Structure formats: structure tokens, C-alpha cells
Structure 1
Amino acid sequence: MRTPRFSLLTLTLLTLLSGCRRPSAPAGADAGTPRAEAPKGPEVTLTVKGSDTMVVLGQRWAEQFIASHPGVKLQVTGGGSGTGFAALINGTTDIAMSSRPIKDAEKEQVRQRHPTGPVELPVARDGITFYVHETNPVDSLTLAQLKAIYQGDLTRWRDVGGKDEPIVVYSRENSSGTYVFVKDEVLGGEDFTERAQTLPGTAAVVHAVALERNGLGYGGAAYAKGVRELKVKKDAHSEPIAPTAENIRKGTYPLARDLFFYLPRQATGTARAFIDYVLSPEGQKIVTDAGYFPVK
């Protein structure tokens, strides 16, 4: 039996109308509640690279910052201050972390790409610390003694008031800002002894000294776990000074230094927001909690 044409037309109209209606809300749902989240903006990636001394601090800043900025992806990696500057020069990082001031030659290379850069921002303070094994009886060394040890002129602990044992010397790789700082401030720009065992990060130096009872190494104060920190004397007649927060703040510890962010240009947008966070009371509390010292 043929279906009446009127019925077919009616059925077609009803189908079209039903397709135009908004679906009813599920039972118990608020009719005013959106069915889906609003579209999110594009994810912003900020790259921070450089100093191994600062990498743990940088990661802690990043973790807290992205917790309140869910659209931001923050990548923090180490490799040494020199690695950070190389990345800044070739445009592969937004921020370079450094435990030393930038060199004039590095500045000029940055300016070839960014004529108004680089921008230098102290973000924390640190004290270069010399570590010994927990059983080592030596309590302090003068800057002259440290220089003699790291140049190979003093080779046994008895030469500095310790046991008649060889001094096992640990150092950082030459891309490290800590290496450069010790070379400039302790060795007077002269070379390290060939006997120094080069390790790729401060954590590795601390680990080596913790295992070697005759070891001597250096790095940031925040890493001194499972080893003992030496006090440092400016000369034989000076009192020994420990790398404490108070001594570093007052400037009495002879090997205190700033830790820096370097940018290719003045910060804007997400980079500016991250720097503002780092220098805020909350960001500077993270500095203290991590074992470093605030800049203000």
C-alpha cells in the first residue's frame, strides 16, 4: 500500500525540526552549565638553560610557577654556565642561568643577534664551598693553601695540618661557572693541576668526596650533604669564616657570589611573569629553602 504523500511530507518536516532542537539537559544537570570547557589558548614554552649549580633551584621555581600558570611549559636544564651562554648566543634558550658574570666576548656575541642585550639579573646568592670527607680533621684552609692544592704544589694533607695522606682533588668541567669562579678568585686565573679529577656537576663532586676520605672538592653551599664544609681564611692571620647565610649576607665570607639570569632582551610576557615570581617573596623563599641565599 502506498504511503500518502502528506504523511511523507509531515514526517520529513518533523525530522528536520527535531534536528534543529537543542538537546535537553540530562536529569539532575544545571541547564546553565556549559557542555564543554572553553577552548584553551596555545601553550607557551619557556626555556631556561645553564648553570648546574642553579639547576635544582631553577626546577623548583619552575614547578611552583607552572602550578599557577597551567598554560605554560617551563623547561629547565643544566650543562654549565658556558652552555647557557652558548644557547643564549645561538637563540635556543629564553633565559641563561649562570653562576658567573658574562664575559665581554659573550656579550658581543649576544649583541650580534640582539643589539640591546644581554640583560643581567641577579636572582640569588651563593657561597663557593670546599668540601672534605666527614672524617677529615682539617677544619679550615687559607686561600693561598687552596691555590697551592689546586695547582699541585701541596699534595698531602699533612702539609695543611691533616693526616699523612694524599689529597685527592676534584674539580668541575671548564664549561662550569663554578670552575671559572674558582680559577679567577682562588687560582688568580692560573690553571688547575692535571691531578684534579674533573666531574660533570656539583652533585657528582659531593658524591665523590663523600666516598673518598682524602677527597677535596668544591661547589655551591646548597649541595653540601654527606660531606663537611671547610671554613676559609683570607690569609694566615685571618679568622676562618664559614659559608653561612649570615656571613654571605654580610660579605665576610671571601668566596660569596651572585647567581644570575641572562636574557637576550628586556623580558616581556611569560618571561617577565616568571622573573617577577623568582624575585617575589615567595620565589626568594624557595631560594632559602633550597640552601641558597636571597638577593634581597
Structure 2
Amino acid sequence: ALLWKRHRNARSSTTALSGLTLLWALLLIPAVTGNWYPLAHTSAQGSASPDLTLYAPFSEDSQAATLAQAASLTLHSDLPSLDGATALYPLYAAFARAAYAPQDGAADVVVCTNTPNAYRAIIAGERDIIFVAGPSEKQRQAASDAGVELVFTPIGREAFVFLAGNSNPLDGLALQQLKNIYSGKTAHWKTLGWAAGGRIIVFQRPEGSGSQTGLQNMMGRLPIQRPQPLPDNALFGTGSMMQQVSVTWNGVQPALGYSYRYYAIAMYPNPEVKLLKINGVYPSNEAIADGRYPFTASFYAVTNGPPEGSVKLLIDWILSEEGQSLVEQTGYTPIR
């Protein structure tokens, strides 16, 4: 479920307010925990997620990246079980396609349950490797509480990007402007130079997701304003931020969202959405590689303890020229 922040106007009718108190209380409990969305609108208008079957590693028509020649590593047994972020599934599916010998049950060890579930699984010892962005503080604490040492091996770099509708006249924002928006200090587009934009519909992702952790890292110690109900259920759309950012309301596209670059431009693109420059820098491949784009971070192969056996063989191969070639072919920036 996707969220947004908005101060609700006080109701003029005391009677109506008292009659709705209990209902609003029930709705707002999940709002402040990061899981609220308009219950009347589900995903009936379309899929809220990309079709991951397109990248299935052992499918003949898989869209996962491939090497021009056979991989130097082929694992025939003790195949590491893989899981991770939705946006990284095409990449680790490509790793499995290249390095796993096709066999009965091979597809069962390559799954995608999303970032929060993948972290839970690696902490519980249910996966051998997960492919994710860095952990949230709660995920770090969960590992510590379980007495688990998570080992993070960086394998590539990616940009954390901000999204707006194409009709938004602003092509970029400054870091301080973003902090003002997500802390609640700035609530209207006119403050940023778009007089007709109205209130900023500021979407958020659920706690524990890779992109929400990216937002938290950007904000640092500055508190993120709590999410509030949408002013109009029509803004909920399909339930996907990539679609919600382009929704027109009151004649404008007032929403602001965020994602990771590959997901936004390759896995679930929306032609009505644009990526914003940050501090004047567009998140191009070159700006990510040379570090000019300010929100660039590594993503990781994460193991429960130091990698050993076939797990170590696979991670070492991922860091090789062949593995890094698949990182680049998929659409990410290699770490080497």
C-alpha cells in the first residue's frame, strides 16, 4: 500500500465530526504505522506490480540478461537459494540463468518475496543469499536481536530517484527542498515555484521496503512527516506509486513519489512520469557511475554469516567480469 501526507481540514459540523470519530480512528491507526490506503480502491484498475515471470531464469523466452558465452562457473548441486527486492529480481535471475545447471527443482530456489520478506528470511536462515538495498534500522535490529551476523557484499550501484507527472513544470528539486517536503515544512507546490500546482500529494512506501529505507537515509535524523489519508480516493489509482504519481487531480498532476531508477525506467515504466534532477543533476548512467548524482548507493548480496561453499563461489563469480557484465546488461551500474 502506498501512502501520502496531508493535513486534514477541520470539519465545520460538530455532529458530523462526532459521528465519524470512531471510523476515522480505525482508519488512522494503520495510517501512522505506514500501511494505510483507501479501502474502497484496490488494484481493480490494473496490476500494481511488474510481471516477474518475464524474467524467470529457466524459461526459454526469459528477458533476463545473458552472457555471450557459457559462464565460467556452473553449479550442478547445492544450489544457493536466492531471494530479494522486486527491482533486483531480473538481475539475480540472470545470475541463476548463467551459473545454475538446469535441473529439476532449480527454479524453486530462485524466488522474489520483496525486500522486507527477504530480510526476514535471511535472518531466519531460510535463504542463502538475498539481493537488496541496505537495511533499515529495524532490519539491523532484528538481525541483532536474533544473534545473526549479516554480511553485505556490494555488487552494484543504483540511483534513488524522485518522480513527478510530466505536466509538472519543475524538472528538478534541491536536496533541502525535498527534506522540507518530507518533513512537512513545505506543503504546496507554489512554495517551489509552481503556483497552479496546489497541495503536494506526497506518496510514501511501506516501512521496511528498499525505497522507504532510501528516503530515511536521505532524511537522516530529520523526522519524516506521518502519512495521512488521501483527499480523493481517485488518487489511489492502481495502488502503484509509478501510476499514482501521474494521476490528474483538480486539473494538475500534483503528486511526488520516489523509487529506484531501474524499477522506474525498465520494470514498471510510466510514460506520464518523469525523473527529477536533484541539485541540478539528472540520474543518468554517467552521473551514477561518477558519483555526481547525490542519491547513489550500493546494493548487496547479503548472507547470514560469512559466505561459504557454493554461496561463496557464486558471490565471487558475481564480482567477476562475467557477473559484473550481467549487472551492466540488466541496467545497473557495476561495482567494478
Question: Above 0.5 in TM-score?
Answer: yes
TM-score of the aligned structures, taking structure 1 as reference length: 0.71
> Which of the residues 89, 94, 116 maps onto 1:60?
94
Cα distance in 1 between the residues matched to 2:274 and 2:295: 17
Cα distance in 2 between the residues matched to 1:93 and 1:287: 21
Q: Which residue of 2 aligns with 1:183?
A: 216
> Which of the residues 266, 272, 285 maps onto 1:245?
285
How far the C-alpha of 1:106 sits from its partner, in A, is: 4.2
Q: Which residue of 2 aligns with 1:140?
A: 172
Deviation sequence 1:258-277 (CA, Å, 0-9, x none): 10111113323332332233
Higher radius of gyration, 1 or 2: 1
Map of 1:1-296 to 2, 5 A cutoff? 44-66=78-100, 68=101, 70=103, 72-73=106-107, 74-80=109-115, 82-101=116-135, 103=137, 105-109=141-145, 112=147, 117-165=149-197, 166-186=199-219, 188-195=221-228, 204-212=240-248, 213-224=253-264, 225=269, 226=271, 227-233=273-279, 240-296=280-336
Cα distance in 1 between the residues matched to 2:225 and 2:121: 26
Cα distance in 1 between the residues matched to 2:160 and 2:334: 15
From the two aligned structures, give the one with the greater strand fraction. Answer: 1
Of structures 1 and 2, the one with the larger relative CO (CA 8 A, separation 6+) is: 2
> What's the secondary structure of 1:271's corresponding residue?
helix
Mapped contact 1:87–1:93 kept (Cα < 8 A): yes
Cα distance in 2 between the residues matched to 1:138 and 1:106: 40
Cα distance in 1 between the residues matched to 2:208 and 2:92: 18
How far the C-alpha of 1:43 sits from its partner, in A, is: 5.8
Cα distance in 1 between the residues matched to 2:256 and 2:220: 15
The farther-off stretch of 126-135 and 179-188 is: 179-188
> What's the secondary structure of 1:64's corresponding residue?
helix
How far the C-alpha of 1:42 sits from its partner, in A, is: 8.8
Structure 1 stretches lacking a partner, 5+ long: 1-40, 198-202, 234-239
Q: Which residue of 2 aligns with 1:10?
A: none
Residue identity over aligned pairs, in percent, reads 25
Q: Which residue of 1 aligns with 2:35?
A: none
> What's the secondary structure of 2:221's corresponding residue?
coil
Closer, same or farther: CA 192–92 of 1 in aligned 2, 3 Å: farther
Cα distance in 1 between the residues matched to 2:136 and 2:180: 27
Cα distance in 1 between the residues matched to 2:221 and 2:163: 20
Q: Output the aligned Cα RMSD.
A: 2.7
Cα distance in 2 between the residues matched to 1:189 and 1:88: 30
State how many pairs are aligned. 239
Q: 2:278 is aligned with what amino acid? A: V
How far the C-alpha of 1:285 sits from its partner, in A, is: 2.4
TM-score of the aligned structures, taking structure 2 as reference length: 0.63
Mapped contact 1:88–1:264 kept (Cα < 8 A): yes
How far the C-alpha of 1:288 sits from its partner, in A, is: 2.1
